Amino acid sequence: LTPIHWDSAGSRPLVCKYHGWSFDSEGKLRRIPFEKEVYRYTDLEKKKLCLKRFKVELVGRLIFVNVSDDPLPIEKQIVPDLLRQLREISGSFDSSYAKQVSRRKFNWKLVYENLRDGLHVPFVHPKTLSNLIEYDVSKIPVRIDWSMSLGALSHGGADAPIPNLPAEDWHSNVDRWPCGSFYHNWLIYPNLHLLTATCGNSFSIEYHEPVSPGETDVHLYFVTAKRKNPSWDPTEVLNGHFQGADVILSEDYGVLEKLQENLARASLAPALGAYEWWNFRIESWYLRAIGRARVEDYITQYLGWPLRVIAATLNYGKKHGWKPLFKKVLRFG
């Protein structure tokens, strides 16, 4: 079980560094050094020696690998419109990117909760993100939510407005992805986050890899939009992005690490607010998926659910008016 590749990026033939076994691009055995002398496998034994196959999906220029033995079709995990958006934005990525990995002391699930919590921005990022985006608490959606499917756990598109993006010289070197003056966020359940905080001039891709119950490896990539001039070197710009991201992410991760320290001591059940419908949706789905929904969870979920729908319906009607609400209900029906 020695890994074939030891580096997380690059290009080299499929040759094991331990005993030099080599495989072709399909993972079939090509050659075993000293096979006749020391291994003496039968043909039948050799036929079974191939690399494990995984389901791979290309979505634009993103590659999704499903490591399950019984992989779900990607369309069941990510709805068609979101797949279309991922194809479109990844089509604007430049061929050069930069990547950093850092190990953080929190469970991976805390990141997805935090990314779907629009209310923390003015408290955790008062001098950073709050100064970039036009934050408006009344724009945080409190919606009617009946979704229970896996596809409904991922979401993406325009988020808050970026009214005054500082013009930078390097913007003229790239073919900006035309997305108006908005902060764009794509949250792909369970652990992928794409965004552009530069109105399509550059993108960040975060991927949160669980390491242990209290540790997560954060893989952070930056890529600019496609270069207009291949001789322009984006390295300095990408390094600047890492410095900026480090400030903002440290604000989030500082809170999450403190939260993680306290988790073992916590005895209170979470009291989710109406605006946390998205995290509630994920947690309900997740508990069922891992078979850990307890009787009291079913009671809170299934008895609490109608009350939540009524509360969210009243909220929606008050906020957006009753006519759009009826239209929405009819559309769902």
Residues in the site for Fe ion, rule: CB under 5 A?
A: 252
For residue 193, the minimal CB distance to Fe ion (Å) is 11
In the complex with Fe ion, the residue whose CB is nearer, 253 or 280, is 253
DSSP letter (8 states) at residue 197: S
SS (H, E, C) 102-169: EEECCCHHHHHHHHCCHHHHHHHCCCCHHHHCCCCHHHCCCCCCCCCCHHHHCEEEEEEECCCCCCCH
Question: In this structure, which amino acid lies at residue 162?
Answer: I
CA 200, CA 85: separation in Å to the nearest integer?
13
CA 315, CA 261: separation in Å to the nearest integer?
35
In the complex with Fe ion, the residue whose CB is nearer, 21 or 106, is 106
For residue 250, the minimal CB distance to Fe ion (Å) is 10
In the complex with Fe ion, the residue whose CB is nearer, 158 or 289, is 158
For residue 115, the minimal CB distance to Fe ion (Å) is 7
Nearest 5°: phi and psi at 222?
-125, 140
Of 262, 282, 260, nearest to 110 by C-alpha is 260
For residue 239, the minimal CB distance to Fe ion (Å) is 22
In the complex with Fe ion, the residue whose CB is nearer, 90 or 185, is 185
Listing from the earlier edge strand, what are the strands of the sheet with 215-225?
A: 93-104, 215-225, 202-212, 192-196, 182-188, 155-161
Nearest 5°: phi and psi at 142?
-115, 105
In the complex with Fe ion, the residue whose CB is nearer, 252 or 283, is 252
For residue 187, the minimal CB distance to Fe ion (Å) is 12
**CB-based closest residue to Fe ion:** 252
For residue 249, the minimal CB distance to Fe ion (Å) is 8
In the complex with Fe ion, the residue whose CB is nearer, 77 or 191, is 191
